[in-house]
Amino acid sequence: MREKKRIEDALSTDAELVRRNGDIAAYFELAHEGETVDADLQREIGALQQLVDRLETETLLSGGNDALNAIVTIHAGAGGVDSQDWADMLLRMYLRWAERQGFQTVLYDYQPAEEAGIKSATFGVNGQYAFGLLTSEIGVHRLVRISPFDQAKRRHTSFASVFVSPEIDDSIEVIIKPEDLRVDTYRSSGKGGQHVNTTDSAVRITHIPTGLVASCQNERSQHKNRDRAMSMLRSKLYELELEKKREASRKIEDTKLDIDFGSQIRSYVLQPYRMVKDHRTKEEAGDVDRVLDGDLQRFIQSYLRMRRGGKS
């Protein structure tokens, strides 16, 4: 069914390219005849450009798991309440990005901080190429701003880390020994109804050999939360093994792409100037508010071009 949908989408896109090309050619003919079609022509060219940009992005997503859904985890770093607030801002940014893409999101785990923001959050992004697109976000994100929590109005630097793994299905076998797991249940601390918040329905599963942790608290049923947490853990273990294989085969070059979890990938500066800069691709944007509202496509596309080995 997944392959059938992929072929149907490819045929639909091909038909749309033919139609838009024909429409633009028709407008040029009308213009040669003296008709005023500037506005319509600009609109059609703009729509075609958006379609071509989307197709270019898809051609850059050739990894075996790029087409899968994604599981995203955000952790607040050093910096106290400022970093916890920054982690919450990143959560909003990615949820808004997913909404712009027409993707569905599911919040699996939400750990609010005491004063403001979050300690961590895990959510799923469901849509074609969700994982491939979000691989550009793996790493540490840095925020520089005047702290709203500092009475002296000093400039603070905050950090939050983002990890993304593909949501694998039952067709991929991941062997997990029961004796390697520690399962903890606890009371949900996330957003939800009275029943969710007053029963020990939340589940946290730790894979002892690797230290990987998966938790879920968005369901009322402890069994459903356990099933979802196990699925997330399988995805994380699968991505960990893939990363080990990539690391073993990766050539040591000065220009190699570093996607390790601890790498600082992007800075968001709100003070003394306003700019978002990706340190890997050198891509920059001056409209910080637009980026924080989910407009990440320019950064994602430049990263994918760089990963392929082209110019950013």
Within 10 Å of residue 304's Cβ, how many Cβ atoms? Answer: 24
Does residue 91 share a domain with residue 199? no
Contact present, 157 and 272 (Cβ < 8 Å): no
Does residue 29 share a domain with residue 154? no
Does residue 77 share a domain with residue 51? no
pLDDT at 73: 94
Query: Running along the chain, 312 residues long, what does each successive block of 10 average in pLDDT?
Result: 79 90 90 88 89 82 84 89 95 97 93 91 92 93 90 88 83 78 80 54 89 86 86 85 65 36 80 93 95 94 84 43
Q: Note whether residue 171 is domain-resident.
A: no
Does residue 74 share a domain with residue 51? no
pLDDT at 167: 86
pLDDT at 249: 45
3-state secondary structure 129-184: CHHHHHHHHCEEEEEEEECCCCCCCCEEEEEEEEEEEECCCCCCCCCCCHHHEEEE
Tally of domains in the chain: 3
pLDDT at 207: 92
Cα angle: 59, vertex 64, 65; to 5 degrees: 95
> Using only C-alpha atoms, what is the Rg of the chain?
22
- Residue-range definition of the domain harbouring residue 100: 70-166+254-308
Does residue 286 share a domain with residue 260? yes
Q: What is the CATH number of the domain that holds 196?
A: 3.30.160.20
